[in-house]
Structures are given as structure tokens and as C-alpha cells.
Structure 1
Amino acid sequence: MQKTATTNTINLTDQTTEIAQSFYGWLRNDSLEALIAIGVGVGLFLLLRLLRGMGCRLLEKREDPAAWRSVVARVARRTHSFFLAALAADIVTNVVAPPGGLLTAVDFIFTVSAVIQGAIWVRELVLVAIAHRAEQGDADHSALANAMGVIRILVNIVVWAIALILVLDNLGVNVTGLVAGLGIGGIAIGLAAQGIFSDLFAALSIIFDRPFRRGDTIQYGTTTARVEAIGMKTTRLRAVSGEQVVMANTKLLEQEVRNLRLIDERRVLLILPLQPNTEADKLAQVPDLLRAVVEAQPSTRFEHAVVIGMNGNSIDVELMFFMTDPPAEIMAQTRHRVLLDTIRTLHGVGIEFSDLTPPRG
């Protein structure tokens, strides 16, 4: 092992010496061309830096800092001067064709710097795009901070692992075994931490897809609860009965979740049991009477009032209307007033409710 390391060091020293001699020979044998090439390279490097600065300032002057221009500007600011210098040198050397050793060295440096710069761009673009997507609307900032920390680690591992493989491949190293090892290691880690990753990705789905947010009231199964906190493994909810419910993110998303905050209208359905001997002429007046009762209340939309059946105990009338102001407390109060006004109105025209079946809804 030590002998191999010594041999590699000697080879690297010889290559460096060869490149230096090629550059010195170029300066000595064709000094004018070499100096012009160096001057053009320096000028091109300064021009690239100037364009980078102007582009960033132009994009950041827009009034919509959250738009794609801001994302592009932040990614452009991560363009390093070393990459710009390598790019300028590669352009010049491919035009003037210096000695072979120097040309090969510049191409190699540019390839390595391009791989590293590409990794930086991809990393920044992914992180900025994810942060921009997550910050839209009312995000849970504590959960978002935790999520971004985990995402940053995962993105860094993936991006820099790929960059390392590409650099080693350009150095002439056989990366087949390394790629296979990374693949097997990733599978082993994924299987060992399957439950953790399952809840983690469920949490990321909740944060970024936003089926519900902190403060929303949701309904799943037979439970109705308000979302108090969204964590990386669990979501904490406050049930309407008062107790705190802790649900694993995966288990929560496996169920049908109803977000009650997003209700535009609430349907109210009342079944009114009338006396079975109520006259047909009086029953014909019921729809108009109930329409007037409902429309007298604010934020209501009358749907229908119809006779749906009869038996020996009652004639059943179905009253349906919608609340356009969806909070549950407002609906309950409106339903209460509609029932009282319905009783008064029907009694006023001589229509009585069945003695055997109390009003229900």
C-alpha cells in the first residue's frame, strides 16, 4: 500500500513537472501568442464575473422576490470564481492550441471544476425550490425548519456522492465497485430504517402538499380534532373532547382525512314529522312557508322542503338548506333559530307536529 502511494506521488510530481515545462517552453518559444492568450483569458474571466454580478442585480431588482427570478439569482450567486477562471482558460486553450500537456491539464481542471460547480448549482436549486414551495401560504415554520434540515442532509449526500463518482471517473479510477457498494449500502440503510423514512416522507408530504395545516380542524375515522403541531414522525392533534391525540404521519395519511376548514358550505337536513291527519291543502303551503323561514336567516341558501313519506304515526317533511358561512357554531345557532321559527310558523297556520315522534335532524 505504501509503495503504491509513493508511486502515485511520483507520477503526480512528474506530471506537474511536465505541465510546468510545457508552459515554460510555450512562453519561451512563442511568447507573443502565450501573452495574448493569457491576456484574453484574464479579460474573459473578468467579463464573466461582470456578467454574473449584473445578472444577479438585474434579477433581484424585480418587485416579486418570491418569483423564479429570485431563485435564479440565488443560484447564480453560487457560481464560484474558480469555475469562471477554469471556463475562461478552457475557452482560450481550445482556440490557441497550446502544447499538449498544458491543454490536457486545463481540460482536466475545467472538467473537475464543472462537476463541482454543477453539484453546487443542483444543490442550491433543489433547496431554494423546496423552500420556496414550502413557504407559500401558512406554513408550520417549526416543522419546516426540521424538514429543511433533513432535506439539506439528504440532498448534500446524493449530490456530492454523484459529484465524487464523476470526479473519480475523470481521474481514471474504476468506479464500478464504488457505485455498486453505494447502491447496496443505500438499500441496507433503507431497509433498516424503513419505518423512520416512511414517517419522514409522510411528514414532508404533509408540509409540502399541505392536505392540512396547523390550526385546521380535520376529521379522520370517528375522530374530529384540531391540528396542533406537525412533526417529522408524528402529528399532534387536539380532539374536540379535549384530549391530545398523537398520530404517526404514515398512519394518518393512510386514512381518509377531511379538512373541515376548507368547507365552503354546510348542509343542514331536518326531518319534520307532522300529524298524519294534516290536510293536503295545508301541506301544499309548507314548502313556501319553510322557504320564507330559511331565507329570513343570514348566510343561508334554501334547497327544498318536500314530503318524503307517511305512515300511521306521521307525515314526514324533509327540509334542506345550506349555510354559506361554514363555521360550525354559526351553523348550530342558525339551525336552532330555523327550528324555532318553523314551529311558530307551522303552528300559526294550524299545522301540528306528530305527538309520537319528536322533531329531529
Structure 2
Amino acid sequence: MTVNNSAAVAQRAASNTTDAVEEQTRTFFADAVTWFHSHWLQILIAAALAVGIVFVLHILRRWGMRLCERSEGPAGWGTIIGKAVARTGNFFIIMTAAKLVSGYAAPPEMLAKTIDFLFTVAAVFQAAIWAREIILGAIEKKTESENYHGEALLSALGLIRLLVTVALFAVALVVVLDNLGVNVTGLVAGLGVGGIAIGLAAQGIFADLFAALAIIFDRPFRRGDKVQYDDTVGVVEGIGLKSTRIRSFNGEQRIISNKNLLDKEIQNISNRDHVRIKLPVGVAYETPPEQLEAMPDMLTQIGEEAGATVARASFEDFGDSSVNFQLWFDIPGDDWPTAHKTRDKVIIGILRRFAAEGISIPFPTQTTYTADPQGKLILPYPEVQPVMRVDKEDGER
């Protein structure tokens, strides 16, 4: 019996809803006929104005399309705006014209509310489309100006396009529902909680993902650059959405997550404008003071003759077995083989100049002195004994 009553109640509710819709429809058409008969001249004028507005908006959209077709090379802001204008929809154009002329035609209340609602829906979603085109165009402009290439960039741009589209259209949907009178507070809270849950569950993946985007757009290094971090020195072979692959100078490929890589101090060797080499030089203590005094100028001359830019050549300290000097010189560029060849020229030049000047580079030496129990010094080498002559025949001295 209860089931039958519930079914009857539901049937009556559905019947009442249908009747209400039919009544509203009849009222709408009746008001529309009355409005047309009483305002036919205003309606015709408004229709003519609406056609003119639609024509102008189509001309603007066509201008945006032509602007995109004429663009060559990296996209500028004019091209980006042109692409956004070219994505203007026909529904938005029609509803914009209807909204602009509706006040002059003085339509019935129900028709005016319908026009307002449809215009709001069209404007909100059209604004989302324009915003998406401008944001993605700005990102593409950045990548083109920086000459980015590669599969990782295409994947990153695809992911950015998806995230931007979902975010903008989600906001547009919330705005439309709010205009319909729907309480969107719970929906917004639910979306926020869901986003937090997804973010916590995949925080490692998202951390590496956004680190990859930071590498691509902030450009601390690019594919083919020589980098150094910790004890690793190598060439960047690929930048993925999860990890970066570096070919070490020792031959092995090293893979490190993007987040961990950005947390380190990275030295981009490819951006180095010169290679600095520090070369210690030690000369014997027996070297005359005049030659020691001329040593910095001599080392500077040798470095410049080898093609290096000398940064410093000066006395360093007193060593255990030599007077030490330090020669610092720079080689332009970041090519280590060239730098090593220049260093070899400097070393050979020093040896030749020292040989010509009679300057010796001493071997590291150490002399040990001991004493007998009475404190007498014992030399580290045997005493030379006097030579004695012996006669073989009589054995006399």
C-alpha cells in the first residue's frame, strides 16, 4: 500500500511539473505575440542593429584569422591576440548582438531573462576560451624565443594545455551554475578537497613535473649543456617530465629526478666564458735574489706567449725544499682540451726558460741528523778516511 502511495505521489508531481512547463510555454508565446504586435517597429530596428553587430563581430574575427595567417617566425603579442579573436564563437556573437539590442526592443520579462542567461553562459565560456588562447600563446612565445626543442617540451606543453583548459572551464562552469541560482559553495569546497587529496597522493610526481617545467622555462640548463653537480660532470642528454639524463664524462649515463637535481647547486659549464688554471712553480733556495725578484714578470711573459691571459703571477710561500710561486692564467671559452693544450705550452715554456736562465726546480728532499749518547752530532754520511799507501814487497807504509 505504501509503495502504491509513493508511486501515485511521484506521478502527481511529474504531472504538475509538466503542467507548469506547458503553462509557462503558453504564457511565453502569448507574451511574445502581444509584444510583436505592439513593438513591431522597434523589433525590426533592433533586428537590423543586431545584424549589423553580428557583421562587425564577424569582420573582427576574420581580421584575427588573417593576422594569424600572415604571422611568420616567433609569435608576437599581435599574433597571440589574433588567435584569441579568431576563436570567437558564433553563439557568443549572436547572444552579444541580442543583449545589446534587447533594451531598445523592450522584450517581455521572460524573454529578457532568457537573453540575459544565454548571454552570461556565452560570455563566461568565451572568456575562458580567450584566456586559454592568450595564456598558451604567451607560453609558446616564451618557448619559441628561447629556442626550446624536444619531446619533453611537447609533453610539457600538452600537459600545460590540459591543466589550463580544465582550470578555466571549471571556473566558467562554477560561474554559470552560480548564475542559475545553484549553491556552488559545496561544489567549490568539494573540488578543493579533491584537489588536495590528489596532490597529496601524487606529490612526488607533481614535484618532479613542476621541476621539469621550471627547467624548461627558467632554463638553468638545456639539452647539450655541460653541467656539474656534486661529483658528477657530464652532458645533458634529455630532460623528461620525471627525470633528467646526464652522460658522464666517464661514459656512464646518470639519471636523477628533476626535483632532486634542482635542489642541488648546478654549475653550467657551457655558460663559462673562460677556463682558469692555477699552476704552482717551485724554484731552489739557491736561486739568486735577483732572479727570484724577476720571477713574476718572467712567468707572466711565458703565459702570454702561450696565448693565455695571466690573472696573477706572484710569490706564494716558502716550501720545505723550494721557494714557491703561483701562476694563474685564463683561456677564453669553455673548451677543456684547448685549455689543457695551452697549459702544456706554459709548462714547456717555463722549463725552457728555466734551463736557459740556469734556474733549477728542486726535487723534494729531506735530511735527517742524529746524535750519539754524548750529544755529538753524527753526520748522515760516512767520514772520508785518509788514503794510505802500502808497499807490496815489504808491507811497509
TM over 0.5: yes
Q: Does 1:253 align with 2:262?
A: yes
Distance change >3 Å, CA 131–CA 341, structure 1 → 2: same
Query: Hey, what's the Cα distance between the residues in 2 that align with 1:206 and 1:9?
Result: 59
| Matched residue, 1:144 | 153
Q: Alpha-carbon deviation of 1:96?
A: 3.7
Q: Does 1:353 align with 2:329?
A: no
Distance change >3 Å, CA 5–CA 204, structure 1 → 2: farther
Distance change >3 Å, CA 234–CA 166, structure 1 → 2: same
Residue 210 of structure 2 aligns with an amino acid whose one-letter code is: F
Q: Alpha-carbon deviation of 1:304?
A: 1.7
Q: Alpha-carbon deviation of 1:136?
A: 2.7
Q: Per-residue displacement from partner, 1:99-144 (whole Å, max 9, x unpaired)? A: 2222221111111100010111112222222222123334232001
Q: Per-residue displacement from partner, 1:86-108 (whole Å, max 9, x unpaired)? A: 11111111344322222221111
| Matched residue, 1:24 | 33
Query: Hey, what's the Cα distance between the residues in 1 that align with 2:350 and 2:102?
Result: 91
Query: Hey, what's the Cα distance between the residues in 2 that align with 1:209 and 1:5?
Result: 60
| Matched residue, 1:321 | 329
Q: Alpha-carbon deviation of 1:328?
A: 1.1
| Matched residue, 1:330 | 338
Higher RCO (Cα < 8 Å, 6 or more apart): 1
Is residue 302–residue 322 contact of structure 1 (8 Å, CA) maintained in 2? yes
336-345 vs 283-292, which moves further: 283-292
| Matched residue, 2:139 | 130
1:41 aligned residue (29, 33, 50): 50
Q: Per-residue displacement from partner, 1:53-76 (whole Å, max 9, x unpaired)? A: 235535764666521111111111
TM-score (norm 1): 0.92
Q: Does 1:241 align with 2:250?
A: yes
Q: Alpha-carbon deviation of 1:19?
A: 4.1
Classify the secondary structure of the residue corresponding to 1:267.
strand
Distance change >3 Å, CA 8–CA 351, structure 1 → 2: farther
Query: Hey, what's the Cα distance between the residues in 1 that align with 2:177 and 2:246?
Result: 50
| Matched residue, 1:198 | 207
Instruction: Name the larger-Rg structure.
Output: 2
Is residue 140–residue 207 contact of structure 1 (8 Å, CA) maintained in 2? no
Query: Hey, what's the Cα distance between the residues in 2 that align with 1:15 and 1:228?
Result: 68
**Identity across matched positions, percent:** 41
Is residue 26–residue 34 contact of structure 1 (8 Å, CA) maintained in 2? no
| Matched residue, 1:73 | 82
2:108 aligned residue (99, 109, 125): 99
Distance change >3 Å, CA 27–CA 10, structure 1 → 2: same
Distance change >3 Å, CA 111–CA 18, structure 1 → 2: farther
Q: Alpha-carbon deviation of 1:247?
A: 0.5
266-275 vs 340-349, which moves further: 340-349
Query: Hey, what's the Cα distance between the residues in 2 that align with 1:144 and 1:211?
Result: 15
Q: How many corresponding residue pairs?
A: 356
Is residue 115–residue 167 contact of structure 1 (8 Å, CA) maintained in 2? yes
Query: Hey, what's the Cα distance between the residues in 2 that align with 1:8 and 1:208?
Result: 56
Is residue 274–residue 316 contact of structure 1 (8 Å, CA) maintained in 2? yes
324-333 vs 313-322, which moves further: 324-333
Residue 167 of structure 1 aligns with an amino acid whose one-letter code is: V
Uncovered stretches (5+) of structure 1, i.e. residues with no partner: none
Is residue 124–residue 176 contact of structure 2 (8 Å, CA) maintained in 1? yes
Query: Hey, what's the Cα distance between the residues in 1 that align with 2:263 and 2:297?
Result: 46
Q: Per-residue displacement from partner, 1:34-53 (whole Å, max 9, x unpaired)? A: 11111111111111111232
| Matched residue, 1:229 | 238
Q: Does 1:269 align with 2:278?
A: yes
Instruction: Give me the CA root mean square deviation.
Output: 2.3
Classify the secondary structure of the residue corresponding to 1:269.
strand
Alignment of 1:171-186 (within 5 A): 171-186=180-195
Q: Alpha-carbon deviation of 1:284?
A: 2.0
Q: Alpha-carbon deviation of 1:26?
A: 2.0
Q: Alpha-carbon deviation of 1:174?
A: 1.1
Residue 44 of structure 2 aligns with an amino acid whose one-letter code is: L
Distance change >3 Å, CA 15–CA 131, structure 1 → 2: farther
Q: Per-residue displacement from partner, 1:238-277 (whole Å, max 9, x unpaired)? A: 1111111110111111111111000011111111011122
Is residue 309–residue 331 contact of structure 2 (8 Å, CA) maintained in 1? yes
Q: Per-residue displacement from partner, 1:194-232 (whole Å, max 9, x unpaired)? A: 111111111111111111111111101011111111111
Q: Does 1:215 align with 2:221?
A: no
79-88 vs 13-22, which moves further: 13-22
Distance change >3 Å, CA 257–CA 36, structure 1 → 2: same
Classify the secondary structure of the residue corresponding to 1:135.
helix
Query: Hey, what's the Cα distance between the residues in 1 that align with 2:40 and 2:174?
Result: 39
Query: Hey, what's the Cα distance between the residues in 2 that align with 1:320 and 1:8?
Result: 92
63-72 vs 322-331, which moves further: 63-72
TM-score (norm 2): 0.84
